[in-house]
């Protein structure tokens, strides 16, 4: 048997052949391959070792410690793209920060603005832009490692470091806010697979005692950041969906729970009044 495949298999890698091929393709030298193999055998996620993850048909740059985008989050990408398409309904004009000054024709063009809140690598924003090329994506993360990484996947000047909406320009409104913020209850982190628990920063996972601490804050402020008729999309778990939907309702948005069993995706959409 291929010795690399054997090493990966004995370390518990289920798709050892595929992983060995990916590592060989990514390594620039035998020494680099050995270094990557050691990291992978020690339990680091394959995507962090390779430096990229496939997400919604794109190659997204990934860095050590930064949350690896999950397949389930493509449900949010699909929903965001649907909300942004003009045939989905009239598009309200954005807030004052976006249109260029001077009253040109461009100033009258509606901006398909999206905020990717808790962006991690920026995978969700990048994938939305992949589906809706004229979308204007802004992204925020509180973790400097995530911001550095997202600046390699998105236009860097619109990737901001800070807490939730705080670093965004005042008055900036979005048609869609995508929020895959941490929602794992603190005590459940210990039960997560070691790849996540040991190699993704806890700020990316820890949602507080009931998992809803960050959601509570971002949902409460969302209405003031949405254009009329705009939508907040919050990824959550199936078990937490009713609680997330109740927070959305309490914030003055109309909630709807979307699920996709094939990818284990759950997203609560909250639509702002027109």
Ligand X SMILES: C[S@@+](CC[C@H](N)C(=O)[O-])C[C@H]1O[C@@H](n2cnc3c(N)ncnc32)[C@H](O)[C@@H]1O
Span interacting with ligand X, options 21-29, 40-48, 179-187, 260-268, rule CB under 6 A: 179-187
Nearest distance from residue 120's CB to ligand X, in Å?
3
Candidates 203, 220, 246, 263: give the one binding ligand X (CB under 6 A). Answer: 203
Specify the residue for token string 């729970």. Answer: 257
Contact present, 138 and 175 (Cβ < 8 Å): no
Half-sphere exposure at residue 197, Cβ-oriented, CA atoms within 13 angstroms: 10
User: Binding mask 13-52 vs ligand X (x if CB under 6 A, - otherwise)?
Assistant: ----------------------------------------
Residue 159 binds ligand X, judged by CB under 6 A: no
Q: Which is nearer to ligand X, 122 or 255 (CB)?
A: 122
Rounded to a whole number, what is the distance in angstroms from the first to the last CA of the chain? Answer: 63
Nearest distance from residue 263's CB to ligand X, in Å?
13
Residue 118 binds ligand X, judged by CB under 6 A: yes
Beta-carbon contacts of 7 under 8 Å, excluding residues fewer than 6 positions away, are: 37, 41
Candidates 46, 75, 84, 124: give the one binding ligand X (CB under 6 A). Answer: 124
Nearest distance from residue 73's CB to ligand X, in Å?
5
CA 172/CA 195 separation, integer angstroms: 36
Beta-carbon contacts of 37 under 8 Å, excluding residues fewer than 6 positions away, are: 4, 7, 8, 23
Candidates 75, 140, 173, 243: give the one binding ligand X (CB under 6 A). Answer: 140
Half-sphere exposure at residue 195, Cβ-oriented, CA atoms within 13 angstroms: 16
Nearest distance from residue 219's CB to ligand X, in Å?
13
Q: Which is nearer to ligand X, 120 or 185 (CB)?
A: 120
Nearest distance from residue 217's CB to ligand X, in Å?
7
Beta-carbon contacts of 234 under 8 Å, excluding residues fewer than 6 positions away, are: 179, 180, 181, 215, 218, 219, 244, 248, 267, 268, 269, 270
User: Binding mask 49-88 vs ligand X (x if CB under 6 A, - otherwise)?
Assistant: ------------------x-x---x---------------
- CA nearest to 44, candidates 31, 69, 63: 63
β-pair partners for 177:
115, 232
Candidates 49, 127, 146, 245: give the one binding ligand X (CB under 6 A). Answer: 146
Contact present, 150 and 100 (Cβ < 8 Å): no
CA 250/CA 266 separation, integer angstroms: 19
Span interacting with ligand X, options 21-29, 38-46, 138-146, 250-258, rule CB under 6 A: 138-146
The SS3 assignment for 67 reads coil
145 is written with which tokens? 């490692």
Span interacting with ligand X, options 14-22, 114-122, 222-230, 242-250, rule CB under 6 A: 114-122
Span interacting with ligand X, options 23-31, 79-87, 177-185, 188-196, rule CB under 6 A: 177-185
Contact set with ligand X (CB under 6 A): 67, 69, 73, 118-121, 123-124, 140-143, 146, 163-164, 180-182, 203-204, 214
């Amino acid at each position: 048997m291929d010795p690399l495949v054997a090493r990966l298999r004995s370390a518990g890698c289920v798709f050892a052949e595929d992983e060995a091929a990916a590592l060989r393709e990514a390594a620039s030298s035998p020494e680099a391959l050995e270094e990557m193999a050691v990291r992978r055998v020690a339990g680091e996620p394959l995507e962090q070792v390779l430096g990229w993850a496939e997400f919604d048909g794109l190659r997204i740059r990934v860095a050590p410690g930064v949350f690896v985008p999950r397949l389930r989050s493509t449900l949010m990408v699909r929903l965001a793209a649907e909300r942004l398409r003009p045939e989905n309904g009239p598009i309200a004009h954005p807030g004052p920060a976006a249109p260029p000054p001077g009253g040109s024709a461009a100033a009258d063009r509606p901006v398909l603005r999206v905020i990717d809140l808790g962006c991690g690598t920026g995978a969700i924003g990048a994938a939305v832009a992949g589906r809706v090329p004229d979308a204007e994506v802004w992204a925020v993360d509180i973790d400097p490692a995530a911001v550095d990484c997202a600046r390699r996947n998105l236009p860097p000047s619109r990737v901001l470091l800070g807490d939730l909406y705080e670093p965004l320009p005042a008055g900036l409104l979005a048609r869609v806010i995508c929020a895959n913020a941490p929602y794992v209850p603190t005590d459940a982190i210990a039960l997560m697979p070691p790849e996540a628990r040991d190699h993704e920063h806890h700020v990316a996972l820890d949602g507080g005692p009931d998992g809803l601490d960050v959601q509570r804050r971002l949902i409460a402020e969302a209405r003031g950041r949405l254009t009329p008729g705009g939508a907040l999309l919050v990824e959550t778990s199936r078990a937490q969906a009713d609680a997330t939907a109740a927070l959305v309702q309490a914030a003055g948005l109309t909630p709807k729970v979307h699920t996709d069993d094939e990818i284990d995706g759950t997203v609560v959409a909250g639509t702002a009044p027109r």
